[in-house]
Structure 1
Amino acid sequence: MTSMTAPHLPLGLWWIVAIVSVLSFLVFMTSLMPSRAYKVQVAVAPLLVAVTLAVLGFLEDFGAAQLVAMYACVITGLQVAFVGRRREMRQLMADTLARDAGEDVSPGLSMSANIQVVGVCLVAVAAAVWFSFAS
């Protein structure tokens, strides 16, 4: 029978994974945004996740390897959650811009997109916890 423990990866490797995750997040997510203002808001997300995890690390006394593992999993999960939804995200952003301009539209994602986002985010959090306990 095989063990269900996560592989131990060195901190340096987790930093590489985190940096690649952030770069791919920035390229992918900013490509979905229709305006500069939305691109800037999306570009701030990795920083907000880092601050949140830093506070969590301070409060719960997590080590650097655990925090970087969690960070890489969460950032990767945020972008994977929207894979295959480019057209729908562009429409959502266009509807949001129209609503902000005063038009009567109600932007929203489809039920399948919502299920995809929630499902992937749950898996990303589970992976973050799993990998963080191995680090």
Structure 2
Amino acid sequence: MSLGARARCAGTQAVKESTLHPPYIAVSTWWMIAAIVTALFLVVCVPLMPSRKYKVRIACAPLLGLVFLAVAGAVRDHETQKLLSTYCTVMFAIPLGIVGRGKELKEAAEEAEKAIGGQVAPAPFKLTMQLSAALVGACMLWVWLNWG
């Protein structure tokens, strides 16, 4: 390998070393992030629900998520930091995935409420794609934060 090629490789390695590592986030900071993300989730998601029944269900989601992760963490002996990062990325992805799609979300929920025991049409394509992209992006963020 020539001297110039070695210098380019060393320069590239230095850039990779300084830019690709995730920041260290303390557990206390994760708790603050979790509180903010939970508030964001409730502010965005609850008003989009068409009925009181759905509003109550979506308002219980953060609590159920924390309970599920606490039990899973105790059973599998995961660190609190990883559990909170999981909670935060999921709770951030859902509002991000439905923001701006309130009309479609309300229509889909109302249709599902009317079709008890019957066939329900699939959710609107744009809503599905936005929610899917947000969840994939959140998963990628979580992987980067936890495994860098």
TM-score class, shorter: 0.7 to 0.9
Contact 2:105 2:127 in 1 (8 A): no
Q: Distance in 2 between matches of 1:61 and 1:106?
A: 40
Q: Distance in 1 between matches of 2:92 and 2:31?
A: 13
1:60, distance to aligned residue in structure 2 (A) = 3.3
Identity among equivalent pairs (%)? 29
Equivalent residue for 2:11? none
Q: How many corresponding residue pairs?
A: 132
Larger radius of gyration: 2
Q: State which drifts further: 91-100 or 33-42.
A: 91-100
Please identify runs of 4+ aligned residues in structure 1 that moved more than 4 A: none
Q: Structure 2: give runs of 5+ residues left out of the alignment.
A: 1-14
TM-score, normalised to structure 1, is 0.84
Which is bigger in relative contact order (C-alpha 8 A, separation at least 6)?
A: 1
1:41, distance to aligned residue in structure 2 (A) = 0.7
TM-score, normalised to structure 2, is 0.77
Q: CA RMSD in A?
A: 2.1
Q: Distance in 2 between matches of 1:60 and 1:106?
A: 37
User: Larger % of helix: which?
Assistant: 2
Equivalent residue for 1:106? 120
The reply to whether residue 121 of structure 1 matches residue 140 of structure 2 is no
Equivalent residue for 1:44? 60
